[in-house]
Amino acid sequence: MDAMYQALLAPFIDFAFMQRALAGSLLLSLASCPVGVFLMVRRMSLTGDAMAHGILPGAAAGFLLFGLQIVPMTIGGLIAGMVVALGSGAVARFTVQKEDASMAAFYLISLAVGVLIVSLRGSSVDLMHVLFGTVLALNDAALTLIGLISVVTLVALAIFWRALVAECMDPLFLRSVSKLGTPVHFIFLALVVLNLVGGFQALGTLLSVGLMMLPAAAARFWTVRVEPMCLLATAIGMSSCVSGLLLSYHFSLPSGPAIILSAGVVYLASILIGSRGVLSTRNRPSRHRTA
């Protein structure tokens, strides 16, 4: 029993930095995992990755002007993310180019600009901090920001839940029967950017989308309904945060990658043993019509 306490509970009870890391990562899971489910159902999974890179130049500009300060980096990331989301959408709407191509172009430009800006002032350590985050170094200001983003996300999801589900299933039908179609789409993109900015504080621009998408992708192998998929994705995200932080503590691993790899293990296991996974599909008896 003492060994179990030392392995599972002591790190979070004895060390304040582990408590803050746990609180921040659980709050991120609570908000970003349901957003990831909607991204996946909308077949916009790679959009989340593109927008995660899109916030980098704004966050880097905040870093260039004010150093590693949360407020300016957050405001810069929000502005840059919105510019990428609205810019790529405008290009897709008013030109012949599809949204996936315009999003890819914007995120590649943003990634290059962001890395260049950080390199102008910072060291390789600063660049690693911006790209991969430092969940073990979360302070009270970062926790407050992540908490506010989580509250805003959950309230918005509760208010626009039916419209979001309807747009996932049949966006043309929603636009034909309601004026909420276009506004809901942009509200959803704003939620994606908000959660990526929150994830950026803990996991950096390159890993924040991992906590958003991997639990959602794993949950897809267990259920087809959106509501239980969101709940299951959140549970997977939270358990991945706990296991990743414990692995980081006991084996001196980078905390952010450990969290994402924990979610990746659940995803790979879900592919095999999920109720809609490979093994279940193969073992399911096929039904043949008899004459």
Euclidean distance between the first and the last CA atom of the chain, given in angstroms as a whole number? 62
Chain position carrying tokens 């900015």: 197
At residue 291, does pLDDT exceed 50? no
Measured CA to CA, the distance from residue 225 to residue 239 in angstroms comes to 21
Q: What is the mean pLDDT of the chain?
A: 85
Residue type, 134: T
> How many other C-beta atoms are found inside a 10 Å radius of the C-beta of residue 193?
24
Measured CA to CA, the distance from residue 291 to residue 288 in angstroms comes to 10
| pLDDT on residue 290 | 44
Q: Please state the rounded mean pLDDT for residues 146-158.
A: 95
Measured CA to CA, the distance from residue 48 to residue 38 in angstroms comes to 11
The answer to whether the CB of 146 falls within 8 A of the CB of 202 is yes
- Predicted TM-score of the model (pTM): 0.87
| pLDDT on residue 148 | 94
| pLDDT on residue 107 | 80
Q: Please state the rounded mean pLDDT for residues 101-124.
A: 79
Residue 38: which residues within 8 A CB-CB, separation 6 or more? Answer: 164, 168, 188, 226
Q: Which domains does the chain have, with CATH numbers?
A: 2-272 (1.10.3470.10)
Measured CA to CA, the distance from residue 180 to residue 189 in angstroms comes to 14
At residue 98, does pLDDT exceed 90? no
At residue 97, does pLDDT exceed 70? yes
